[in-house]
Structure formats: structure tokens, C-alpha cells
Amino acid sequence: MEEQPIGILDSGVGGLTVVKEIFRQLPKEKVIYFGDTARCPYGPRPAEEVKEFTLEIVNFLVKQKVKMIVIACNTATAAALDTVKEKVNIPVVGVIGPGSLAAIKHTKTGKIGVIGTEGTIFSGAYEQTLKKINPKLSIVSQACPSLVPLVESGIQEKEEIKKIVNEALKPIAKKEIDSLILGCTHYPILSEYIQEVVGSHVKLLSSAEETAREVSTILHYQNIAAHHLNSSAHRFYTTGDPIHFKQIAEQWLGQKIEVESVNL
Amino acid sequence: MEEQPIGILDSGVGGLTVVKEIFRQLPKEKVIYFGDTARCPYGPRPAEEVKEFTLEIVNFLVKQKVKMIVIACNTATAAALDTVKEKVNIPVVGVIGPGSLAAIKHTKTGKIGVIGTEGTIFSGAYEQTLKKINPKLSIVSQACPSLVPLVESGIQEKEEIKKIVNEALKPIAKKEIDSLILGCTHYPILSEYIQEVVGSHVKLLSSAEETAREVSTILHYQNIAAHHLNSSAHRFYTTGDPIHFKQIAEQWLGQKIEVESVNL
């Protein structure tokens, strides 16, 4: 069990920010990554459809004998985490819990901001998770539908990125918050731009970094963390164009990878 | 199950830093705290004896129908965590894992410092936990036997505290580290003094703050977090002088509490 890979899924390339953090925080672990690029973005889709897509990918990963499922996509976590937990008998970790707990740990004022896709924000999942733990928290949420397409496009020109991020964050930048949850795994890629818009007094909580931390907690709690530096390669699957995926993934991860195209 | 209290134990008052963080991060939870003040400090005692004491307290807490055990003492975690996990059928959380995972998340240079009691440092528990996860980390450890007695004494004079902390931390302050694990639940009380000695470029990781975060992760993962703001009071037990305990505890927690004296 311990030496089996961790299965990580996302609507596209965003979940690679979680993979990068798992590589950093848990260097002995092997991962199988599934990016559903052909059907990305999940953000604007109905929750039922996102749930269906997520379960398809979970089935694929379970067949690859993964020891844990990480839903490295906020939209899919909001729509499908509870259902996935019921269906499989291995640990399942989503990205909404870890970001929420980190914000609760960090906030001094109790005023927390959340940005995400339309699917994530309109589901109210962060607000519910946070308020369930502490009803006195004050939450400001904002959907930023332009940011996932920005990241997936691979645009490199700084001025263009800056302009789009500025526009997307304008409303929440005026709110009084001391912590901002980057409630989409694509957003850590844009964190320097986001930090500039909201100001340095606001702590950005990356669901990528925090999810890797939670994966580590659960692996150790369940006693299924890898003991050995496994020499087999990580595996990456995409439903979209493997060349485009490989390009973006290698740039983010800073290492060469093999990508396989797959149809569900 | 959800509305049952969390059982928290320590050799004395140090574990109250964990309680304070649980109150802050998990305001719906009720706690039963056990401070073994009569036998404090655990730091210089043989591991076998610490294990025996810890099991006695765990038995006491299990009889109070707690839903989780938190060993809020690094020395007891190092000596007894694995044994306690085997003996009880409720979740058990120690303080060494959370501090270690936080340091791994935070470090950029891979150079991590750990300070703790003699028992904790000589057990090698932090070094083992950290290296097991990432063998490339470089760890510098140092026992600070004078700090627990300092905190338990309740000394308030700043110059006197400063002098003792300076003396205790001298060797590790010269090392090149970017993260320092406060590997004793007493130490967060001294964090401003510790920060001054090691410099502002070193991130202090409080096992109290990180353990409360991990308690939250496990409660939610196991689906046993409290749903309701429970109106019954928290309970505090000490094997030592309840008046002295109450004095220190109320000062730290910033609220009135009832303390009961108990013999094991």
C-alpha cells in the first residue's frame, strides 16, 4: 500500500500546483495526475455534470491502484467530494478543507476573502466550511471567471496578465480582509500579481501548498506514506492535447515529464 | 460522538498553548485538559517512565469519554505516541508530526532548527520524523532544559526572562536555519524572546498552533467535529496545586476556568 501512487485529478493543468507542492513536501511519493483538459473549464458547468466527470476520473485512477485520491480542483471538490468519499474505500482529500483551515489558523481579524471560479463561489462551499467551524467569521467571496482561461492559455506577457488580474480582483481588493484563500488551484501561478492588487498586508493562502500539507497529514495518520524513494516515474494523463499539456506542465514543474493522451 | 470533548494532556501547563489554539481555531469544541504538574517536568525523565505516566493519563481521559486524545507534550509524544495509538480506538494526535510538517511546508533552504527538552531532543524524534519524509533536509537540534522551569515558575520580569532565553539559545542562534520548530508546548509563551535571539529571518513554528490545525484536519477527516456550540464548561485537571495552575492557566487563556485536583 505505502509504495502505491497518489491519484490527483483536475479539470486541466491547475492541479499541477498541488503536484509541485507534493513533490516538494513529500519527495518520496509517486503521483498519477489526470487533467481533464478537453472538458476544461469546469467552473461554468452545472454541479451534476462536474460530479459525473469527477467520478469518471476517480474510476480511472482507482483502476491504476492509487492509495489516495486528491481532488485538486476546487470546482470538483465543491461538487463531488462527499460523493467520491462514499464511493471509494481509500482516503480522499479535497482542496476546500485545507485552504479553509489555513485561513482559520492565520486570520487575526476573522475577515477572510475567497476567490474562485463561478462553480466554486456559487456553490458556497468555502463559506459553509468556514462558518460551520466558526460562525463568527466574516467571509467575502468573489468569482473570477477570467483567471482560469488566462492560466490555461499560457500567456507570458506580464502587462497583459497584470491587466486581467487587476480587473478580476477590483471588487475584493477594496474589502477589509487579512487573509485571502486562492480557491482555485490555477491561482498560485498568478500569486505575485494577486498579492500586488490586494496589498502586502493580506496573507494569500494557496490551496496547493495547504492541500499538500493535508495529504501529508492524512498519509501519516493512516500510516500509508511511502518509505522508499521510488524510482518509477510519475504518470501524467490528459484528455486534451498532450503537447500543449506537456509544455505548460514542464514549465510549472521545472522538470521533464511524459504525458499520455487518454479518452474516458 | 461529535459532541464529546477532546482530551488533552501535558506534563504541566505547557499544553495550555494547544488548548488556547483549539479554542481559537475550533470554537465549537469542548476540551478536558490534564496537566501532570506534580510530576513535571517530563523532559529529564527516562522514556519508559514518561510512557507509563502518559498511559495513566490516557486511561483517565478515556474514562471521561473523550472522542480524541491530544498528547500536547513533546516529551510524551516522543516517548508514548505509538503505544497510545495501539492501546486506544479513538484518534490520537501528537505534537511532533504537526510541527514537522509545518517546517517542511515552510522551509526554502531545507535547513531546519529544533529546540525542545532533553527528553525530546535526545529521543531524536523530530530528526527522525523530518528525515523520514525528506532525507535531504539538514536538521540542527538543541535541548533547552532551562525553559520549561522558567515558564512553569510564572516569572514576569522581562529582563530576567530575556537573560535566560538568550543563554539557552546561544548555540542554535549562530546556525544557518530558515525555520525553527518550537518543539515544546511551553515555548510559544516565550516566542517574542526567542524570535529576538534567532532573528526575524527565521520562521518560528509553534507546535501549539500547528497541532490545533492538525486536530481540526483529523476531526473533519473522521467526521467527528462538533456541530453545536456546546454550553457545558471545559474541564481542567491537575495533579499539582490547583490554585497555582488556575493562576497561570487563566493568565494564558485569558478566561476564567475551574480547576480540579486529581490523584492518579
DSSP string computed for chain B: -TTSPEEEEESSSTTHHHHHHHHHH-TT--EEEEE-GGG---TTS-HHHHHHHHHHHHHHHHHTT-SEEEE--HHHHHHHHHHHHHH-SS-EE-SHHHHHHHHHHH-SSSEEEEEE-HHHHHHTHHHHHHHHH-TT-EEEEEE-TTHHHHHHHT---HHHHHHHHHHHHHHHHTS--SEEEE-STTGGGGHHHHHHHH-TTSEEEEHHHHHHHHHHHHHHHTT----S---SPPEEEESS-HHHHHHHHHHHHTS---EEE---
B6: distance to nearest CA of chain A, Å? Answer: 15
Q: Which residues contact B49 (CB under 8 A, 6 or more apart)?
A: none
Which among B25, B97, B133 has CB closest to A105?
B25
Reported ipTM exceeds the 0.95 cut: no
| Residue B16: per-residue pLDDT | 94
Nearest Cα residue in chain A from B227: A132
**C-beta neighbour count of B151 within 10 angstroms:** 22
| Residue B92: per-residue pLDDT | 98
Give tens-digit pLDDT for A66-97: 999 999 999 999 999 999 999 999 999 999 99
Cα A193 to Cα A205: distance, rounded to the nearest angstrom: 14
Is pLDDT above 90 for B153? no
Q: Which residue from B137, B132, B95, B110 is spatially nearest to A29, judged by alpha carbons?
A: B132
| Residue B151: per-residue pLDDT | 87
Confidence of residue B154 (pLDDT cuts 50, 70, 90): confident
| Residue B230: per-residue pLDDT | 72
| Residue A128: per-residue pLDDT | 96
Cα B28 to Cα B226: distance, rounded to the nearest angstrom: 6
Chain A interface test: which of B25, B86, B215 (most A C-beta within 10 Å): B25
| Residue A65: per-residue pLDDT | 96
Active site residues of A: 73, 184
The answer for A 130-159 residues in CB contact with B (under 8 A) is 132-136
For chain A, give the number of residues. Answer: 264
Q: A67 with A5: CB under 8 angstroms?
A: yes
Nearest Cα residue in chain A from B29: A133
pLDDT: which is higher, B195 or A207: B195
Cβ within 8 Å, pair A101-B209: no
**B6-94+209-261 shares its CATH topology with B96-207:** yes
For residue B140, CA distances in Å to A167, B114, B116, B179 come to 46, 6, 12, 10
For residue A259, CA distances in Å to A27, A149, B191 come to 20, 21, 47
Asked whether residue B186 is marked as a ligand-binding residue, the answer is yes
Is pLDDT above 90 for A156? no
Q: Where are the beta strands (DSSP E) in chain A?
A: 6-10, 31-35, 68-71, 92-93, 111-116, 138-143, 179-182, 203-206, 235-238, 259-261
Give yes or no for B5 touching A (CB within 8 A). Answer: no
Region of B65 (left: φ > 0; alpha: ψ -120 to 50; beta: rest) is left
Q: Which residues contact A150 (CB under 8 A, 6 or more apart)?
A: A161, A164, A165, A190
Give yes or no for A104 touching B (CB within 8 A). Answer: yes
Cβ within 8 Å, pair A217-B214: yes
Assigned fold of A96-207:
Rossmann fold (3.40.50)
| Residue A264: per-residue pLDDT | 85
pTM exceeds 0.95, yes or no: no
Give tens-digit pLDDT for B18-35: 999 999 999 999 999 999
Domain ranges of chain A: 6-94+209-261, 96-207
The answer for A 221-260 residues in CB contact with B (under 8 A) is 221, 225, 227, 229
Give tens-digit pLDDT for A88-145: 999 999 999 999 999 999 999 999 999 999 989 999 999 999 999 999 999 999 999 9
Q: What is the mean pLDDT of residues A26-45?
A: 94
Confidence of residue A43 (pLDDT cuts 50, 70, 90): confident
| Residue A207: per-residue pLDDT | 87
Q: Across all residues in chain A, what is the average pLDDT?
A: 94
Confidence of residue A176 (pLDDT cuts 50, 70, 90): very high
Nearest Cα residue in chain A from B23: A134
Active site residues of B: 73, 184
Is pLDDT above 80 for A185? yes
Cβ within 8 Å, pair A217-B220: no
| Residue B177: per-residue pLDDT | 97
Give tens-digit pLDDT for B103-128: 999 999 999 999 999 989 999 999 99
Q: B96 with B78: CB under 8 angstroms?
A: yes
Is pLDDT above 90 for B95? yes
Give yes or no for B102 touching A (CB within 8 A). Answer: yes
Is pLDDT above 90 for A231? no
Q: Across all residues in chain B, what is the average pLDDT?
A: 94
Assigned fold of A6-94+209-261:
Rossmann fold (3.40.50)
Give yes or no for B109 touching A (CB within 8 A). Answer: no
Give yes or no for B217 touching A (CB within 8 A). Answer: yes
Reading the block at residue B71, the C-alpha cell is: 498528547
Q: Which residue from B190, B8, B226, B205 is spatially nearest to A105, judged by alpha carbons?
A: B205
Cβ within 8 Å, pair A136-B27: yes
Nearest Cα residue in chain B from A214: B217
Chain A interface test: which of B131, B133, B219 (most A C-beta within 10 Å): B133
